């Protein structure tokens, strides 16, 4: 029997609450879903939504290593508009460009202040089923 999963939620390591909020909420436009810390002076763990993709951000040692790379599939036709919105914010530490990789599609990669990289992409239609659950049937 193969287990069928509902979703994947990456946990990305962060080191500074202010910088994390500035990047994930103010710059990328994420929505803060919830946050938790056991006590006021202990590490923060929070969740943000980026267009329906949930990410967890953690200051806890052992919850991830800096340098993670994640890929987030964008709705077709939205990547250029997303890039324009990011550039309009004139964020000091990132001015992401659009790339067309050799395998096709379009990509926009941006690094967070903690060494993690998020790549938003639009496939060009030749990558296979959009819903990977179709592969197992």
Q: What burial class does residue 110 get, using C-beta atoms within 10 Å of its C-beta: 0-12 exposed, 13-18 middle, 19+ buried?
A: buried
DSSP letters, 62-109, are TS--TT-EEEEEPPTT-HHHHHHHHHHTT-TT----EE--TTSSEEEE
Q: pTM score, two decimals?
A: 0.87
Q: Please report, for the chain, the start and end positions of each structural domain, with discontinuous segments joined by +.
A: 11-136
Q: pLDDT 10s digit of each residue in the chain, 137 long?
A: 888 888 899 999 999 999 999 999 999 999 999 999 999 999 999 999 998 899 999 999 989 888 999 999 999 999 999 999 999 999 999 999 999 999 899 999 999 999 999 999 999 875 555 555 554 55
DSSP state of 134: G
Q: Are 72 and 119 within 8 A, CB to CB?
A: yes
11-136 CATH choice from 3.30.1360.10, 3.10.180.10, 3.40.50.10490, 3.40.50.720: 3.10.180.10
């Amino acid at each position: 029997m193969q287990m069928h999963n509902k979703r994947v939620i990456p946990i990305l390591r962060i080191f500074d609450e202010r910088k994390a909020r500035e990047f994930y909420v103010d710059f990328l436009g994420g929505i803060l879903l919830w946050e938790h810390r056991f006590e006021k002076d202990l590490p923060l763990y929070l969740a943000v939504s980026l267009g329906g993709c949930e990410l967890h951000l953690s200051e806890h040692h052992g919850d991830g290593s800096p340098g993670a790379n994640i890929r987030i599939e964008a709705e077709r036709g939205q990547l250029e508009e997303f890039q324009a919105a990011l550039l309009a914010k004139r964020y000091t530490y990132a001015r992401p460009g659009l790339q067309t990789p050799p395998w096709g599609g379009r990509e926009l990669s941006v690094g967070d202040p903690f060494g993690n990289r998020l790549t938003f992409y639009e496939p060009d239609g030749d990558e296979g089923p959009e819903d990977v659950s179709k592969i197992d049937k």
